[in-house]
Amino acid sequence: MPSEQTDFAVIGGGPAGAAATLTLRRHAPQRHVVLLEAGRHDRPKPGEVLPAVAQGLLRQLGVWTSFVAEAFVESRAVVSAWSGETPDERHSMFSAQGAGGQLDRARFDRLLVQSADAAGAEVRFASPVCSAVREGYGWRLKLPDGDIVADAVIWATGRSWKLARSFGAKLRAHSHLAAYTRFFDRAPGDCQIVIEARPEGWWYSADLPDQCRVVACLTDPDLGSEMRDPKSWYRALAATQLIAPLLSSGARETAALVKSAGTVTIDPAAGERWVAAGDSLFAADPLSSRGIIHALRSGILAAYAASDMLDGRGELARKRYAMIARQGFADYVPALAAHYAAAARWDTAFWQRRGRHFQNPAAAATQG
Ligand SMILES: Cc1cc2nc3c(=O)[nH]c(=O)nc-3n(C[C@H](O)[C@H](O)[C@H](O)COP(=O)(O)OP(=O)(O)OC[C@H]3O[C@@H](n4cnc5c(N)ncnc54)[C@H](O)[C@@H]3O)c2cc1C
């Protein structure tokens, strides 16, 4: 098998991997970077709501103008039936940060990767990394069509942790959650995000570009297994107050997906010549709406850490990076517990489980 040499290999071309690649190109333009993406970003993917704070990060990455040209849906309001049945509406015009976006995720991910390519990185689609083994100071990555030897690696494969063993990282699942998601077209647009708490969990829907819409039910995997069956999913949808009416005018289902969505962290956050970023480092509950922001931010920081590793400051880089990751998680736990506590008005298994975490969020962080 042929093997190639690179300074940096970034594994995974989601927002975290693309942000890391773009940052490496800007920060260390003399170094070679290869971005390895298993897929092609040509399939529907959940994770559509981009908070307004992303604007600064997209500018920092040099992709703001291209992002604006994509004309995604501007988020004008969040409507929720969360702590009670009366809908609460928050309009972005009253937010100091302005409006966020509602994305076609495949198109957004493609935009970031294409920007990395235009910035001089070598981008390879359909290139899944199967395993990584130490070689010299760096890593030999095994791909179906040959090996790549990299001096440093950024691991950004999202919620796929198959490489954890290669890097000697331990996974910690703090909570379990599954998202039963369906996409629709021919849905009239309203530029809104709608969230509704229900006895079985919670639902969200967002108006997406090209008259598309996403609708998802989030519940525990053991409680929601029947949600895989379209009849059960549509029956539960019919009982919602705010979400069901959004599909009443001839919307047509185009795709259905089941994704894990619980909180997972890894330890350590970085090791010898490798750094984890995005969901691979810390996968958050979608209720927190921080997944893409965290992916972009940690991708940028991972790039600086990986660069320091090649410049002989590996230990300091690892320590700093781990400290920032710990702090991010420490901020997240009480905020998430407070969100769930605000909606806990049913005596069902889903809400009882969240209740145990509200009483002791610190324990939830360490014990799951
Ligand atoms: C149901 C649901 C709804 C969500 N909603 C939101 C939301 O509204 N707003 C928000 O901010 N976040 C949301 N999130 C979270 C958000 O989608 C993620 O946090 C974000 O995508 C993480 O980016 P990433 O780059 O770390 O991982 P990903 O986006 O998952 O990208 C990882 C990439 O790595 C590739 N890959 C995997 N394995 C390999 C391999 N071995 N070799 C090479 N490539 C590989 C994958 O193909 C993928 O393209 C949601 C998540 C779920 C599950």
Domains of the chain and CATH, by start: 3-73+104-175+263-326 (3.50.50.60), 178-260 (3.30.9.100)
pLDDT (0 to 100) of residue 97: 76
77 burial (CB, 10 Å; 0-12 / 13-18 / 19+) is middle
* pLDDT tens track for 286-344: 999 899 999 999 999 999 999 999 999 999 999 999 999 999 999 999 999 999 999 98
The pLDDT confidence band at residue 346, using thresholds 50, 70 and 90, is very high
| Peptide linkage before 2 cis (omega within 30 of 0) | no
**Average confidence (pLDDT) over 35-47:** 96
Tell me: pLDDT of 367 over 70: no
**CA-proximal residue: ligand 1, atom 18 (nearest):** 291
Is the pLDDT assigned to residue 363 strictly greater than 70? no
CB-count burial class (<10 Å; 0-12, 13-18, 19+) for 197: buried
Which of the four pLDDT bands, split at 50, 70 and 90, describes residue 98?
confident
**Percent of the chain at pLDDT above 70?**
96
How large is the average pLDDT for residues 200-217? 96
Q: Residue 297 corresponds to which tokens in the numbers above?
A: 């931010």
CA–CA gap between residue 311 and residue 309 (Å, rounded): 5
In which band, very low, low, confident or very high, does the pLDDT at 357 lie, cut at 50, 70 and 90? low
Distance 282 CA to ligand 1 centre (A): 11
- CB-CB contact of 242 with 213 (8 Å): no
DSSP 169: P
Distance from chain centroid for Cα 54: 13
Tokens of 88: 């609460």
**Closest C-alpha to ligand 1, atom 3:** 47
pLDDT tens per residue across span 251-294: 999 999 999 999 999 999 999 999 999 999 999 999 998 999 99
Atom of ligand 1 nearest to the CA of 162: 41
User: Which protein residues touch ligand 1 with a CB less than 6 Å away?
Assistant: 11-17, 36-39, 46-49, 128-129, 156-160, 162, 179, 181, 216, 259, 261, 278-279, 286, 289, 291-293, 295
Q: Whose CA is nearest to atom 19 of ligand 1?
A: 291
Closest CA to 265 of 154, 162, 366: 366
Q: Which residues of 86-105 are buried (b: 16+ CB within 10 A; e: fewer)?
A: eeeeeebeeeeeebbbbbbb
Q: Give the CA dihedral 299, 305, 306, 311, nearest 10 degrees.
A: 150
Helices then strands, each counted (H, E), the chain: 10, 21
Q: In the sheet that 49-50 helps form, which strands lie side by side, from edge to edge?
A: 49-50, 101-102, 73-74
